[in-house]
Amino acid sequence: MDKIYVSHNSIVSCLGNDSQTVIQKIKDGVSGLQPVNDPKLLDQPLCTSQINIEKIPKTIRGKAKEEIFTRLEHMLLNSLGKVIQASKIELTDRVGLIISTTKGNIDVLDDDNPFPKERAYLAELGKVLKEFFGFRTHPIVLSNACVSGLLAIATAKKMILQGDFDHVFVTGGDLASKFTLSGFRAFQALSSVPCRPYDKNRSGINIGEVGTSALVTKDDTKLAREAVIILGDASCNDANHISGPSRTGEGLYRAVKLALKEAKLQPKDIDFISAHGTATQFNDEMEAIAFNRLKLQNTPLNSLKGYFGHTLGASGLLETIVGMHSLHQNTVIASMGFEEIGVSQPINIIRRTESRPMDTFLKTSSGFGGSNTAVVFKKVAE
Amino acid sequence: MMKKKYCISSYCHIRDNTISLNGKTIYTGQHSDLKSLTKSAYRHFDIDYPKFFKMDNLSRLGFLAAEILLTNEGVLPENEEDIAIVLSNRASSLDTDRKHWESIRDSHNYYPSPAIFVYTLPNICIGEISIRHKLYSENSFFIFDEFNPNHLFSYANGLLDTEKTRKVLCGWVDVDGPVYKAFLYLVGKEGPVLHSIEEITRLF
């Protein structure tokens, strides 16, 4: 079977507009989460990692004076453009595009948003990206709640193995919008201070935003230095509840088990886990239970939500990219916000960012609708 | 590599106030909207699942089509069958997104509800089907500007070829204001219809 790689990548975020800058900030212990008091977003103070759209290079087509791209489109165009450029891949009919998002341009529903309401259809977002870069194939939008970003990588792998494409560009993004913030607020899940995954004193979730992209390919001449091999992937539903995770972590347990099986690895072979860790009571507890059932309780684990908040449809992709750099630089990243264990079962949370030789990592995501995805990645041998 | 062939064992349509299974009409009525159609069909088919009434229109539509199809296939929750779910549509969850939006657009009339917000993701429909039939397998929800048989065909084949699942429940479940359509089909090793792009297109 062909080896499938995740290669060139980019992160457009409030911590910087390229992966290298963002990774360095994370290693330096800088979080992008900031308190925000904006009644237009939410009727109470919140904490988020908002992108200042003025700070990302404008993507201008033609000489049009008025804005032709939405906020999210700017994020994705910038991020995807960098990856296409770095990969030097010609966009033929063998090159696919997967867009991972939960809500896309949902902000166009706002009464004062200048864009037509039709822009809220997710396929429209696909069309904008396709036309801008000149993709020859039909864009594929994946919208599977908070596992979308990680599932998009697994989907790209499947489509390459199936012979549909040789290369797939995966791009993911969501906005910290009034729409989404009001919903999480209604769930009483939002924290007004930086989130603290797995910590005893956690106070809930932060919603953040990034635009992030990566190349998935079978071509080993198209590899970035931090590229990884996708060893195994699986997705499993909890079949339990639409908005709460399974109390036994059933779907996550099954997904990790199947991903390890495909990777032909044992739990002890995993060097670290980049977990979901949203800092809600239910999520963190569910993960602790699942990882104990999997005998992964001693494997070093982090959640990156303390740096970006929960970036929704982008999160799985973003956290995979950070994991790739982490492997390449042989550096475990501290789980920001964690001090004292706040789940009922032991897990080995990474407290300090430090050097350590590493070879493999497991990335997991879980989301509404009972979805869980697990993917095992390995360093490309040097 | 010699590609394996798969088959469609049954399929179900819900459109224009009519529900059909394997091409035969099994329910038809005069309903002003989808809510009324799904409620009436729920009673007609004697379904006992009170959670149904909490669902939004997209989930009701997908749930009902899956219920009819999987019941016909003899799928029982206690067997925890290995069936993946791959759905697609055009409008994502926009029909319910607009309802949530209405509840937050005016700061003087602000009433967001978790019961509505949770349905602002298309894959909740897959979650509802998974819960009902105890399906723990792979699930994905894709959005296209129109029905994309090529993608569904290839994705289902991939799941079956790599033995990630034994069967795949595939299709299109779309609700956008007054417009709705569901077309679900089950792919596996056996069945009367060849699993091919041509057949999927013809049945749609």
**Residue pLDDT, tens place only, A282-324:** 999 999 999 999 999 999 999 999 999 999 999 999 999 999 9
Cα–Cα dist B122/B118, whole Å: 10
**Chain B touched by A120 (CB under 8 Å):** yes
User: B163 is written with which tokens?
Assistant: 């033995």
The confidence score (pLDDT) of residue A55 equals 82
**Residue pLDDT, tens place only, A241-269:** 999 899 999 999 999 999 999 999 999 99
The confidence score (pLDDT) of residue A2 equals 84
User: A144 is written with which tokens?
Assistant: 């599977």
Contact across the interface for A186 and B113, Cβ inside 8 Å: yes
Pairing of strands A228-237, A5-12: antiparallel
Domains: count for chain A: 2
What is the band of A54 on the pLDDT scale with cuts at 50, 70, 90?
Answer: confident
Contact across the interface for A235 and B138, Cβ inside 8 Å: yes
Which of A173, A195, A217 is the C-terminal boundary of a domain?
A217
Top residue of A122, A248, A254 to mutate, by most chain B CBs within 10 Å, is A122
Average pLDDT, chain A: 96
Residue A34 burial by CB count (10 A; 0-12/13-18/19+): exposed, middle or buried? middle
The confidence score (pLDDT) of residue A67 equals 78
Contact across the interface for B158 and A161, Cβ inside 8 Å: yes
Residue B164 burial (CB count, 10 A): 20
Q: Is the pLDDT of residue A62 over 50?
A: no
Cα–Cα dist B86/B123, whole Å: 10
Q: Mapping DSSP to helix (H, G, I), strand (E, B) and coil, where does residue A5 land?
A: strand
The confidence score (pLDDT) of residue B2 equals 54
> Which residues in chain B touch residue A110, judged by CB atoms under 8 angstroms apart?
105
With respect to residue A223, please indicate whether it lies within any of the assigned structural domains.
Answer: no
CB proximity list for A231: less than 8 A, separation 6 or greater: A262, A263, A264, A265, A360, A376, A377, A378
**Residue pLDDT, tens place only, A136-153:** 999 999 999 999 999 999
The verdict on A18 and A65 lying in the same domain is yes
Q: Which residues of chain B are modeled with pLDDT < 50?
A: 1
Contact across the interface for A144 and B118, Cβ inside 8 Å: no
Cα–Cα dist A240/A254, whole Å: 14
The confidence score (pLDDT) of residue A64 equals 57
* Domain range list for chain B: 7-94+121-203
With respect to residue A15, please indicate whether it lies within any of the assigned structural domains.
Answer: yes
Q: Is the pLDDT of residue A333 over 50?
A: yes
Top residue of B108, B110, B117, B161 to mutate, by most chain A CBs within 10 Å, is B117
The verdict on A42 and A187 lying in the same domain is yes
Contact across the interface for A183 and B100, Cβ inside 8 Å: yes
From the list A103, A236, A369, which residue is nearest B127 (CB)? A369
> Which residues in chain A touch residue B107, judged by CB atoms under 8 angstroms apart?
39, 43
What b/e sequence results for B131-163 when a residue is b if at least 16 CB atoms lie within 10 Å of its CB, and e otherwise? bbbbbbbbbbbbbbeebbbebbbbbbbbbbeee
Q: Which of A42-56, A74-88, A275-289 has the lowest mean pLDDT?
A: A42-56
Considering only residues B1 and A169, tell me which one the structure prediction assigns the higher pLDDT. Answer: A169
**Chain B touched by A234 (CB under 8 Å):** yes
Average pLDDT rounded to a whole number, residues A109-127? 96
The verdict on A156 and A29 lying in the same domain is yes
The verdict on A255 and A367 lying in the same domain is yes
The verdict on A15 and A125 lying in the same domain is yes
Which of A217, A244, A261 is the C-terminal boundary of a domain?
A217
Q: Which of A41-55, A162-176, B139-153 has the lowest mean pLDDT?
A: A41-55
With respect to residue A225, please indicate whether it lies within any of the assigned structural domains.
Answer: no
B7-94+121-203 — its CATH code? 3.40.47.10
With respect to residue A226, please indicate whether it lies within any of the assigned structural domains.
Answer: no
**Chain B touched by A258 (CB under 8 Å):** yes
The verdict on A156 and A201 lying in the same domain is yes
Distance, in angstroms, between B13 CA and closest chain A CA?
A: 23
The confidence score (pLDDT) of residue A57 equals 75
The verdict on A203 and A245 lying in the same domain is no
Average pLDDT rounded to a whole number, residues A320-337? 98
Question: Cα–Cα–Cα angle for A234, A235, A238, nearest 5°?
Answer: 140
Q: Which of residues 9-38 of B touch A (CB under 8 A)?
A: none
> Which residues in chain B touch residue A240, judged by CB atoms under 8 angstroms apart?
131
The verdict on A197 and A326 lying in the same domain is no
Which of A168, A187, A217 is the C-terminal boundary of a domain?
A217
The verdict on A177 and A255 lying in the same domain is no
User: B30 is written with which tokens?
Assistant: 């005069």
The domain spanning residue A357 has which CATH number? 3.40.47.10
What is the extent of the structural domain holding A274? 231-379
Average pLDDT, chain B: 96
The verdict on A52 and A169 lying in the same domain is yes
The confidence score (pLDDT) of residue B82 equals 96
Contact across the interface for A258 and B164, Cβ inside 8 Å: yes
CB proximity list for A70: less than 8 A, separation 6 or greater: A105, A107, A108, A115, A119
With respect to residue A237, please indicate whether it lies within any of the assigned structural domains.
Answer: yes
The verdict on A192 and A255 lying in the same domain is no
Contact across the interface for B114 and A186, Cβ inside 8 Å: yes
